[in-house]
Amino acid sequence: MITIMGILFTVSYRPQLRNDFLIEQEVEHLAADLRWARNKAILDSQTYIFRIYTIKENSGSNKIPYYFYIKEGGQKIIKKKGYYSSSLILYKTLSLKIVDAEYYEWIRFNNTATARGGTVALAKAQSGAKKYSITVNQLGRVRVEK
């Protein structure tokens, strides 16, 4: 009986832990995709450009897209696409400014294993919410800060 009450109390008392876990999962997935783009840039001898949006792809979705593309023959060729939850706010730069444009496109990985680095962060849309950031440095290293 005490064990059941303890489990119920923990589950009902800690919804923030679940929210934090879900955000961490999305950030880790995005970081893995950035690492993938760095490796593909080297292997394919191409520059991979990262674009992340701030608005939903369509009105029926609760996900916001990001993708990696290369330029070939004057056209963009999408190589990988991902999504993050529309309940999150997107931030940019080390000072974590809210992205107020339709998209953010600064980070790119070169075929020499270097990058035009940058920082993106995600947080719940509430004041004082914890921000989870991903920084790509000039050497192409992808680092997650929680």
CATH number at residue 121: 3.55.40.10
Q: Which residues of the chain have pLDDT under 70?
A: 1-18
Output the CA torsion 132→138→142→146 (10° steps).
-20
Q: Looking at the 3D structure of the chain, how many domains does it have?
A: 1
What's residue 18's pLDDT?
Answer: 67
Task: Determine the Cα–Cα distance for residues 135 and 144; give it in Å rounded to an integer.
Answer: 7
Asked if residues 49 and 69 have their Cβ atoms less than 8 Å apart, the reply is yes
User: Which domain covers residue 84, as residue numbers?
Assistant: 2-145
Residue 20 contacts by C-beta under 8 Å, 6 or more apart in sequence? 130
Query: The pTM is what?
Result: 0.87
User: Coil, helix or strand for 12?
Assistant: helix
DSSP state of 87: T
Structure tokens at 60: 């029926």
User: Coil, helix or strand for 38?
Assistant: helix
